[in-house]
């Protein structure tokens, strides 16, 4: 099938975006230079179901440089950068993506990817992987009807037989795949890129930490200094979001968390902790980052102050009860791009950013290139690793040496030199008889 | 003369913007409600030479609500929000403003303002006030030719005779006007709104502090965590910019400052201090905030690392030697909106944001509404004060009571209660005989 | 009269302390080297009523090196470092000071200082200056009876006639002296050293900011991370204390402030603001820094949680109602040096540090040497200035050039180089005709 | 054998210290109340080789309340609080500890502990456990001669046969014990208390983070604001130390780290990273926190600036080459308690805190009680767990439920309420078919 993008004429602007991203992704570019020489992916078809951003473009070009045929579809209906999609399509990547897809179009895109009989899947949230598994296990749901519209004649046996493996980018996706494995239903091996230190320690904390606020500022232009910010979830994303709220001058940063150890860390990190029920009454800005469902429900929303702003930076748009809000609101209007005003019965107004979808990807540009540099270096190395190693169906971590190598390259490209252990120090660390 | 804006059809989007700003400017809205009743500005023509933003729109509507005839022209060729300009023009404000004016058009706008024989001028950077003084003192320069194109027949005697006074918003403008006063050339009284505590302690530090980074992020989408940031100037703006650079995770924040006391404060605030000559060699991102000229010169630029990013957040676009850069660059191209790549002889590339103009206004939306709420509350009160009090030509501060009233209103609208002194405490503070 | 110290045999330990302080006060040491050559204070008797610390010792030695006869008495009964007092006494400074003086002994010390007919007074809190004024104006109070015990025969006319001037170190003292001047009662000129930028911008914010917490930690060994800290007062001291509370990980930092502008700054600096009445209910640790009286009263204390810790870092021990606490407590015991437990009716316990006296001087060592280096450089230069210039009775600021010189020396001794303005830049800052 | 402490008459002061610690260790006190009822340790002899501090005293009392016979010896020759040791000895704990033990006395203490035939060992740094293993494996070294002086006749077979298990508190100790296990030489089970989240995520980061600086301030009284601080190691301790250096206003915080992933985290956390060789040239204050040997060697020291201050906060005093420093210094003197000045050939002086031993325990009071509350709650639960469960020789983690229970109790005692998941949320987290 042919690529389908919003507007092919945006390609030249997309190329500039890709140029800028490549300037800021030196680790991935170093891998690309090697791939160009070694061509480790020749013969592979890689289906990437990722946010279609300039950074993904740099990854996709790298995979192509390694010899792969590449198909690119979005992992979120709202996050596609149309100019980048156009540029990649023009270069021969098989792209099916535009910003603002309907749910049906979104699953059409996944069907498009499947129709190429990929040998490797790259996933972000596990929608592509889950779809393949649904097809295999004969699960029925509405999304599969949409998938069938573009992947109608696909032979599932042949598809799965050809799959060498896949990768998964997110915490949320890895949880889904581990559940699948635990249920005995995983049919091909997955490298949980999210488990690489150079991925999960960095992109969520520093990348989402910044880009969430970037999205909030673009959508609202509010001053964060002096505000009461409520962050739901104190995983890596929540930490980053809370840390930057503090850095931007919020006068109270309140963390809502159900896990007692994380909650205690939040307290000792200098944040307030309370249940959402109480936080709802005092917050000015609410950010969800839990990976869970309905962490802001209608009961919470009714308790909020007039003018409260809501945004989600967890993977799926289920963290805020948007459907409930739509149902009860007496009026709704868009007052800025990505900012909707809902009037509640009684007259209070709350403001929802980007329809409750990932705020950093919808209202800003997602993770900055520098941090995706590491995540996508892991993706590229994982794809290569799947080709070079035959793995049984399970969820794997990328080998430590590759992980550390990414860190080493990143430091090098930043011009930062680190300490080298002496021989004496290496020995000291492994001895046990030395005393006080 | 008739209003001139980019596109009148943008009015409805502009009205939404104004609505959102009004939601976030409760102090100014409270003043507006009073103005609507008391009409203190009836009979006045107010010429506002301000950044044409949604926040300025809320001020201008407030002045109109007070009974004034209002003319609005931009104080910067790049900062106009065209939708807001369209909405205001539609409501009967006399607007002459669009984003991306040429220098000639910029002075045409000032001429337009003058042609209305304003009785009160509101200024931001003192261009309107300076122009009136040039006309009065018979100074000749090219800008006046452009002014004449729209204000050709203006009778300067009559103009000045009618002026009750003006206000000035910025540090930079106040310095210019004090120089004018010192030279014995000031011909009408000016209230230096910038000298109000609720203005200068807040908008530069917290407003520019945040919006500068908002501009940098929109223009570049770079990750600030891990970067080396160089801030030139440690006045209120520089402090805010440095503080937020730290808050966003920069690994080094270097302050360049010529005043030893400010430099020492920067050191004790936890920043590095060095001359630009040395900072140029290590910085990733450079922000100028000095109010001075050529603080980043070609010598500095030649020392920078490949990939350095330059932005200005001081009032005028003279802080970075853009002209010099244009002259020596071997290539230049726009790679994103507001981001130009210059290739230097030898191949190094540097990136200039928004042509060296105010980064927060050009690449983002300027100060957030909440902080302009206070600055513009001072402006509105200053205009009223000029009507109610006949002042001699000098530079004045708004009376302290008005200043504190703005603070009190702001706290109230934020729902924050403060301590009240007891009678005993009031007495204690004025006694001198009490000992240890 | 002879020096009176706790234990002369502590002199050698005191000398080590002075050695360490001198290592960390390079600006004052540079002034000392000049004084040794120029002897500007020959013929003067300087009475210093200052906290008797190692840093004061370095100042006092500097004045002696300049040729002055020096008398040293404490400005606080609890802050004397006995070893330093011993060392100075041994070197010929006239010292009357030991830690834990009674109120009577404290005023004996002031009488001791007066008995030398000082020509210059250095004061910290204005007790010495106030006493001289009370003598002159014939005010009667109990403290003067104690003063008379050591200064019985002093001829007040002769005393005042001989006074060239004095200096005052603190905000609190300057307020007292300005009140005196306003009442027309000031009889000799005072240099408000506290008004020097290199004094007031630094020692309270950074010095007290740190040393207050040093005192709290030494007295309690509590973990600050996770605590709710309440800071009364958002002047320079309060800012420093709040900033460091945040830096040590407090989960809420609440500022109590009566001035709306300062309160608003606290909010925008990222702190919570509320009245003490409400803060009392949620705080774990309370620090007063207002310069006012009874900012924590019994009503507040009764609202506090079991285990609340109270400390004062304002100048006088009147900020917490210690007398009231003593009166109502059902039990009191000292559980650590500088930490007293009070049991309230009903059984709740609160903990008072250092009897409500200056926590940083009583429970720790006061400002670190590096910051006193600047304050005392101003003191030394002020003493010299009083000798070289005959001033009328008023409250003065040290000339700006001296102030900036202190900053310049400090930066130099820290090895920090600052920017130099170009000629073009100097001119630009004074011109008014330049436009956008 | 009888207890041996510095001075039994210090007992009453020690009791006050214990009282204060108990006030701040509510989780351990709650466990104590249960132990008093359930007596889970009846019949056990617990040998605790821990820092003899007030917090350890609260643990030891808790174990005794549970029915155990308790022996207490120090895990560091410099960290004993003599008043606490006296109080515990008086209460019937078998204590052999005083501050400033020689190496010989230190191993005498370990022999003392062994002579009681403990059934459970609690260790901090693994010296007691290692000694038992050396005895068992017939290793010979000088320390064993000292051990024999107090444990001469001990029957090693009987000793080991009686051991139900032990616990280990530190990262360093766990590394030693894992090495022992790997070498096939571990003879009884160890619970690595350090692996509990409520231990390792908290005490090093927040406890050592604060108490290290408390020790530095007590030893030097230096101002941290404006300083260049070098932290060697970016493990949990190093993170805490770096974070608090920033919080106290250091103008540069430089991290020295050999692991690329940790180094990169430091960079993204906003710190500078470089090798010690370069950091040595610019640092004012150096803190080692690596668990490794000679991370500051003579080569580094010779590069340092005159006045550099060195301290160690890693477990053992081997991180700074103190022996080398002693050897090359041309002069040495103690200028304050815990602060030694070394003059190097050429005249430069460096300052070493607490002889390179753990700065927070030697110069301050170790971790604050609130954080030890959790660590020691884990210790008490681990001792109970060893009694209730028969384990094979290996290194274990405390079960997760116990770990979370400690967190839950801690939050409860702080009055902090956390979120509760709904049933819907619990189910959502385990499902895999849900999509975008």
Calpha distance D34→D62 (Å, rounded): 10
Whether C436 has a pLDDT exceeding 50, the answer reads no
pLDDT tens-place string over residues B381-417:
999 999 999 999 999 999 999 999 999 999 999 999 9
Domain assignment present for B422: no
Domain assignment present for B428: no
CA dihedral (D84, D310, C212, B206) positive or negative: negative
Domain boundary among the residues A362, A379, A396 is at A362
Calpha distance D267→D255 (Å, rounded): 9
- Hey, are the CB atoms on C263 and B125 less than 8 Å from each other? no
Quick one: C132 and C83 in the same domain? yes
pLDDT tens-place string over residues B156-201:
999 999 999 999 998 889 988 998 999 999 999 999 999 999 998 9
Please report where in the chains the tokens 């009328």 appear, as a residue.
C392
Q: Determine contact: D136 vs chain A, CB below 8 A.
A: no
Domain assignment present for A423: no
- Å from D209 to nearest chain B CA? 18
| Predicted local distance difference test score (pLDDT) of residue C342 | 98
- Hey, are the CB atoms on B249 and D270 less than 8 Å from each other? yes
| Predicted local distance difference test score (pLDDT) of residue A432 | 54
Q: Enumerate residues 378 to 417 of chain A having a beta carbon within 8 A of any beta carbon in chain B.
A: 414-415
Q: Which residues of D touch A422 (CB under 8 A)?
A: 294
Domain assignment present for D84: yes
Calpha distance D290→D294 (Å, rounded): 10
Calpha distance D148→D129 (Å, rounded): 15
Give the residue-averaged pLDDT of A147-176.
93
Render the burial of D368-388: b for 16+ CB within 10 Å, e for the rest: bbbbbbbbbbbbbbbbbbbbe
- Contact yes or no for D228/D304 (Cβ under 8 A): no
* Strand (E) or helix (H) holding C47: strand C45-49
Residue B33, sorted as left (phi over 0), alpha (psi -120 to 50) or beta, turns out to be alpha
Q: Which two tokens stand for residue D255?
A: 């991290």
- Å from D12 to nearest chain A CA? 31
Question: Where would I find the H helices in A66-187?
Answer: 82-90, 103-114, 127-137, 142-151, 156-162, 171-182
pLDDT tens-place string over residues D324-351:
999 999 999 999 999 999 999 999 999 9
D250 three-class SS: coil
Q: Please report, to the nearest 10 degrees, the dihedral formed by the alpha carbons of residues A113, A115, A117, A123 taken in order.
A: 20
pLDDT tens-place string over residues B85-98:
999 999 999 999 99
φ, ψ of residue D145 to 5 degrees: the values are -60, -40
- In sequence order, the 6+-apart residues with CB closer than 8 A to the CB of C369 are C20, C21, C23, C24, C25, C54, C55, C58, D221, D222, D223
- In sequence order, the 6+-apart residues with CB closer than 8 A to the CB of C79 are C51, C52, C53, C99, C357, C358, C361, C362, C366
Q: Determine contact: A359 vs chain B, CB below 8 A.
A: no
Whether C1 has a pLDDT exceeding 50, the answer reads yes
Quick one: A213 and A174 in the same domain? no
Q: Which two tokens stand for residue D70?
A: 């308790």
Domain assignment present for B432: no
Question: What band does A260 get if pLDDT is binned at 50, 70 and 90?
Answer: very high
Of A223, A335, A364, the CB nearest to B370: A223
Q: Which two tokens stand for residue A55?
A: 């950074």
Domain assignment present for A435: no
Question: What band does A435 get if pLDDT is binned at 50, 70 and 90?
Answer: very low
Calpha distance D108→D148 (Å, rounded): 7
Residues of chain B with confidence (pLDDT) below 50: 433-436
Q: Which two tokens stand for residue A195?
A: 């488990």
CATH number at residue C375: 3.40.50.1480
- Contact yes or no for D388/D382 (Cβ under 8 A): no
Residue C92, sorted as left (phi over 0), alpha (psi -120 to 50) or beta, turns out to be left
φ, ψ of residue B100 to 5 degrees: the values are 85, 30
φ, ψ of residue B274 to 5 degrees: the values are -160, 165
Helix pair C26-38, C54-65: axis angle to 10 deg: 20
**Predicted complex ipTM:** 0.92
Give the gyration radius of chain D's Cα atoms. Answer: 22
- Hey, are the CB atoms on D292 and A425 less than 8 Å from each other? yes
Question: Residue C360's closest CA among D21, D360, D221, D250?
Answer: D221
Of C276, C316, C436, the CB nearest to B76: C436
- Hey, are the CB atoms on D271 and B251 less than 8 Å from each other? yes
Length of chain A (residues): 436
List the domain range (segments joined by +) for residue D147.
4-199+367-413
Q: Which chains touch D (3 or more CB pairs under 8 A)?
A: A, B, C
pLDDT tens-place string over residues C2-30:
999 999 999 999 999 999 999 999 999 99
pLDDT tens-place string over residues A385-424:
999 999 999 999 999 999 999 999 999 999 999 999 999 9
CB pairs under 8 A between B and D: 37
- Residue D228: beta bridge partners? D252
Q: Please report, to the nearest 10 degrees, the dihedral formed by the alpha carbons of residues C97, C99, C104, C107 taken in order.
A: 40
Q: Which residues of D touch B226 (CB under 8 A)?
A: 267-268, 270
- In sequence order, the 6+-apart residues with CB closer than 8 A to the CB of D359 are D212, D215, D216, D219, D287, D311, D312, D313, D353
Q: Which chains touch A (3 or more CB pairs under 8 A)?
A: B, C, D
Calpha distance A81→A97 (Å, rounded): 9
DSSP label at residue A340: E
Quick one: D223 and D129 in the same domain? no
Quick one: C230 and C171 in the same domain? no
- Contact yes or no for C284/C260 (Cβ under 8 A): no
Distances (CA, A) of A403 to A46, A246, A382: 22, 30, 10
Quick one: C194 and C212 in the same domain? no
Distances (CA, A) of C345 to C14, C327, C329: 44, 11, 7
Quick one: A241 and A266 in the same domain? yes
Quick one: D216 and D148 in the same domain? no
- Contact yes or no for D372/D60 (Cβ under 8 A): no
Structural domains of chain A, count: 2
- Residue D193: beta bridge partners? none
Question: What band does A371 get if pLDDT is binned at 50, 70 and 90?
Answer: very high
Quick one: A262 and A405 in the same domain? no
Quick one: A191 and A228 in the same domain? no
**pLDDT average per 10 residues of sequence, chain D (436 residues):** 93 96 97 98 98 97 98 93 97 96 96 97 95 93 94 93 96 88 94 93 93 97 97 96 97 97 96 98 97 95 97 91 97 95 97 95 92 96 97 96 96 95 87 50
CATH number at residue D213: 3.40.50.720
Q: Please report, to the nearest 10 degrees, the dihedral formed by the alpha carbons of residues C143, C148, C150, C156 taken in order.
A: 110
- Contact yes or no for D190/D177 (Cβ under 8 A): yes
- Hey, are the CB atoms on B226 and A17 less than 8 Å from each other? no
Count other C-beta atoms under 10 Å from residue B401's C-beta. 8
- In sequence order, the 6+-apart residues with CB closer than 8 A to the CB of C37 are none
| Predicted local distance difference test score (pLDDT) of residue B152 | 78
Count other C-beta atoms under 10 Å from residue D100's C-beta. 11
Helix pair B400-413, B26-38: axis angle to 10 deg: 120
| Predicted local distance difference test score (pLDDT) of residue C432 | 53
- Residue A296: beta bridge partners? A320
- Contact yes or no for D27/D370 (Cβ under 8 A): no
| Predicted local distance difference test score (pLDDT) of residue B79 | 87
Quick one: B372 and B313 in the same domain? no
Q: Which residues of D touch C17 (CB under 8 A)?
A: 335-336
- Hey, are the CB atoms on B244 and A248 less than 8 Å from each other? yes
Calpha distance C122→C128 (Å, rounded): 8
Domain assignment present for A151: yes
Question: What band does A429 get if pLDDT is binned at 50, 70 and 90?
Answer: confident
Quick one: C315 and C381 in the same domain? no
- Contact yes or no for D19/D85 (Cβ under 8 A): no
Query: What's the first-to-final CA gap in chain D, in angstroms?
Result: 70
pLDDT tens-place string over residues D96-107:
999 999 999 999
**Residue A404, CA atoms < 13 Å, CB-side half-sphere:** 7
Domain assignment present for B429: no
Q: Which residues of C touch D204 (CB under 8 A)?
A: none
Whether C316 has a pLDDT exceeding 90, the answer reads no
- In sequence order, the 6+-apart residues with CB closer than 8 A to the CB of A376 are A25, A28, A55, A56, A58, A59, A62
Distances (CA, A) of C132 to B266, C74, C109, D318: 40, 16, 13, 59
Quick one: D232 and D345 in the same domain? yes
DSSP string, B100-144: T--HHHHHHHHHHHHTT--SEEEESSSHHHHHHHHHHHT---HHH
- Hey, are the CB atoms on A202 and D291 less than 8 Å from each other? no
Q: Which two tokens stand for residue D355?
A: 């002889």
Q: Which chains touch B (3 or more CB pairs under 8 A)?
A: A, C, D
pLDDT tens-place string over residues D276-287:
999 999 999 999
Of B23, B210, B371, the CB nearest to A307: B23
Question: What band does A434 get if pLDDT is binned at 50, 70 and 90?
Answer: very low
Count other C-beta atoms under 10 Å from residue B78's C-beta. 20
């Amino acid at each position: 099938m042919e690529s389908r993008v919003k507007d092919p004429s945006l390609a030249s602007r997309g190329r500039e975006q890709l140029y800028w991203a490549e300037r800021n992704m030196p680790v991935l570019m170093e891998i690309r230079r090697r791939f160009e020489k070694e061509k480790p992916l020749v013969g592979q078809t890689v289906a990437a179901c990722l946010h279609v951003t300039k950074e993904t473009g740099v990854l996709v070009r790298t995979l192509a440089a390694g010899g792969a045929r590449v198909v690119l579809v979005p992992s979120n209906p709202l996050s596609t950068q149309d100019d980048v999609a156009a540029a990649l399509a023009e270069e021969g990547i098989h792209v099916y993506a535009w910003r603002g897809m309907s749910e049906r179009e979104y699953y059409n895109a996944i069907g498009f990817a499947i129709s190429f009989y990929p040998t490797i899947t790259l996933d972000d949230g596990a929608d592509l992987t889950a779809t393949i598994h649904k097809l295999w296990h004969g699960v029925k749901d509405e999304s599969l009807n949409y998938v069938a519209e573009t992947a109608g004649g696909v032979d599932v046996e042949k598809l799965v037989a050809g799959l060498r493996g896949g990768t998964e980018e997110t915490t949320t996706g890895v949880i889904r795949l581990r559940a699948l494995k635990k249920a005995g239903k995983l049919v091909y091996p997955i490298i949980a890129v999210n488990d690489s230190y150079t991925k999960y320690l960095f992109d969520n904390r520093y990348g989402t930490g910044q880009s969430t606020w970037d999205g909030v500022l673009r959508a609202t232009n509010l001053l964060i200094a002096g505000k009461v910010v409520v962050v739901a979830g104190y995983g890596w994303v929540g930490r980053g979001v809370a840390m930057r709220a503090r850095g931007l001058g919020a006068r109270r940063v309140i963390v809502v968390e159900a896990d007692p150890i994380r909650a205690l860390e939040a307290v000792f990190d200098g944040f307030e902790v309370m249940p959402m029920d109480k936080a709802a009454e005092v917050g000015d800005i609410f950010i969800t980052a839990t990976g869970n469902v309905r962490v802001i429900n209608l009961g919470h929303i009714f308790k909020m102050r007039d003018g409260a702003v809501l945004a989600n930076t967890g993977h799926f748009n289920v963290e805020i009860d948007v459907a409930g809000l739509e149902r009860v609101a007496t009026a709704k209007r868009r007052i800025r791009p990505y900012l909707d005003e809902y009037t509640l019965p009684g007259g209070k107004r709350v403001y929802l950013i980007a329809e409750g979808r990932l705020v950093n990807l919808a209202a800003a540009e997602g993770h900055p290139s520098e941090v995706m540099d590491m995540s996508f270096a892991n993706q590229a190395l994982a794809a290569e690793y799947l080709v070079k190693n035959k793995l049984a169906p399970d969820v794997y971590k990328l080998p430590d040496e590759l992980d550390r190598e990414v860190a080493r390259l990143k430091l090098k490209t930043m011009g930062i030199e680190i300490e080298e252990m002496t021989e004496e120090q290496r020995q000291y660390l492994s001895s046990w008889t030395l005393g006080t």
